[in-house]
Structure 1
Amino acid sequence: MALRVFPENCFGPYRTLWHRDPSGSWSIHVDGPRLDTACPRYYGAACDYTGHARIGLTWTGPATLRVTMDSPSLDWTLTASATRLLGLLNGIGGALPLATWRPRLLVRARERLARALGMGDLRLSGTMPSGHTGTLMPQRMYFVDDSHATFDGADLGRPVRLRENPRIGDVPLPARGTLAIGQAVWEILDPAEYERTRTETARRR
């Protein structure tokens, strides 16, 4: 199970809920105006289903989030926590400029650090199932060791740390429950779309 919330971007805010069933089939559910400007654009090629849904978010405590979805039905409550080491790293990560995500060596250093934190063989930069090249840029991270969810009536159990990273296509996801706050960028391959996006973004500034 994965949740992504993009409250600000150049093509409209959205929320997505990702689910992988026991057979390994992925679905992505989008609460937003369009599927082709949300996560399915980059990950939909690796999914058996993508579609719209209403996704609700409610903070029930300082670090506890309840996530609900209408169809398929979901009720998911998770609590984030941090260790002293994570608190130190979050302070450093939040202070570093975004330019530090450009050098490949610095991205790989962050991946090695994520591995040391129990997230497995994580890749923060690479090729998405759509063929786009993208980089995820977490600036603050927290562990999610307390979580309970029911999905379409099925109890999904409790969080575990996996020996191998779950994958969507060839993209590895964290091997343990993680809440990350940050940004992301993807390369626009179509020259016409690139120019159109630049123009629309400039108008919003």
Structure 2
Amino acid sequence: MTTTPRQAVATTQTALGLPRGTDERFSGYGAMGVPYSRGHYLALRDMLASSVGPAYRAIWHRDPSGSWTIFTTADPDVSCPRYFGSATAVEQVPAIDVTWRNNWSLDVSMGTRLSWRMVLEATSATRAMTSMGGAMPAWAWNSDAVLAAMGPMASTVLQSGRIRLHGRTPNGQAFKAAPLQVWRVVSGDAHVDGGDCGPVGSLPTQASLADFWLPQRGLFFVGQARFSGPEQASVAPHLAEERRE
């Protein structure tokens, strides 16, 4: 029986802990990214466990001009802006709400500023990636060599543009991403500050934040992430947010 996204998230909320290690680690779920035909881009992070602070939720929004804002429910120093804030505006907000309509669709809201509905489905490609993720031993998700090989493979299988599972963030820390389960975001609508983002659709040029590339087709995930600490950050790579492969 296929595990639905809602079931996977429920399991994650009770069973998925932090991976072992001494680096900065997170476990949770969300929308890896969803592009919209009018140039907007949205991502959701619901980090249920963190080695550096409390659980939190964050919304990443790219407007049609290419400017990014990260909205976070936690102090920016212990949430997404800790790693990506040098390339984005940052705003701490009181709450981000997630409500499941059924096993395959959910609503995300942020007061009156964001209304976002996502409809998910499993495809042959996402099932293949989820099976691969479930079969990999824990040590492999912490291996640069393995992740370097998996990125191009995931790009080919998911047909979502360039994907990198390790690299450098805009703030200079190393990151390693472990999407253990994956689904496609196939439809839904989004409104940001009263504006309609339009239908789901690829951007003219794929967006990135340093080495972190945002998928050109909507993806939803359950997984984990690792980052080196600020004291280990190197000089941040070029921060061009839209680059061709």
Once residues 169 and 106 of structure 1 are traced to their aligned partners in structure 2, the CA distance between those partners, rounded to angstroms, is 20
2:154 aligned to which of 82, 97, 114: 114
> What is the aligned partner in structure 2 of residue 124 from structure 1?
165
Aligned residues: 189
> What is the aligned partner in structure 1 of residue 201 from structure 2?
160
**CA displacement at 1:169 relative to structure 2:** 4.1
Mark the CA change 1:119 to 1:53 in structure 2 (over 3 Å): closer, same or farther.
Answer: farther
Q: TM-score, normalised by structure 2?
A: 0.72
Q: TM-score, normalised by structure 1?
A: 0.85
Could you report, residue by residue, the CA deviation over 1:50-106 in whole angstroms, capped at 9, with x for unpaired residues? Answer: 3324100000110111000016x1110001111134223312312322211233332
> What is the aligned partner in structure 1 of residue 55 from structure 2?
13
Could you report, residue by residue, the CA deviation over 1:113-145 in whole angstroms, capped at 9, with x for unpaired residues? Answer: 221111211111111111111111111111101
Q: What amino acid sits opposite 1:171 in the alignment?
A: F
> What is the aligned partner in structure 1 of residue 119 from structure 2?
79
Where structure 2 has 5 or more consecutive residues not aligned to the other structure, the ranges are 1-41, 233-245
Task: State whether residues 152 and 164 of structure 2, in contact with CA within 8 Å, keep that contact through their aligned partners in structure 1.
Answer: no
Task: State whether residues 44 and 50 of structure 1, in contact with CA within 8 Å, keep that contact through their aligned partners in structure 2.
Answer: no
> What is the aligned partner in structure 2 of residue 66 from structure 1?
107
Task: State whether residues 26 and 168 of structure 1, in contact with CA within 8 Å, keep that contact through their aligned partners in structure 2.
Answer: no
Once residues 53 and 167 of structure 1 are traced to their aligned partners in structure 2, the CA distance between those partners, rounded to angstroms, is 27
Task: State whether residues 164 and 211 of structure 2, in contact with CA within 8 Å, keep that contact through their aligned partners in structure 1.
Answer: no
Q: What amino acid sits opposite 2:95 in the alignment?
A: R
Once residues 88 and 122 of structure 1 are traced to their aligned partners in structure 2, the CA distance between those partners, rounded to angstroms, is 16
Where structure 1 has 5 or more consecutive residues not aligned to the other structure, the ranges are 192-205
**CA displacement at 1:181 relative to structure 2:** 1.0
Mark the CA change 1:163 to 1:120 in structure 2 (over 3 Å): closer, same or farther.
Answer: farther
Could you report, residue by residue, the CA deviation over 1:181-200 in whole angstroms, capped at 9, with x for unpaired residues? Answer: 11000011438xxxxxxxxx
Task: State whether residues 129 and 154 of structure 2, in contact with CA within 8 Å, keep that contact through their aligned partners in structure 1.
Answer: no
Please, what is the CA RMSD of the aligned residues?
Answer: 1.7
> What is the aligned partner in structure 1 of residue 180 from structure 2?
139
Greater Rg by CA:
1
Once residues 61 and 82 of structure 2 are traced to their aligned partners in structure 1, the CA distance between those partners, rounded to angstroms, is 16
> What is the aligned partner in structure 2 of residue 57 from structure 1?
98
Once residues 185 and 88 of structure 1 are traced to their aligned partners in structure 2, the CA distance between those partners, rounded to angstroms, is 23
**CA displacement at 1:162 relative to structure 2:** 3.9
Mark the CA change 1:85 to 1:174 in structure 2 (over 3 Å): closer, same or farther.
Answer: closer
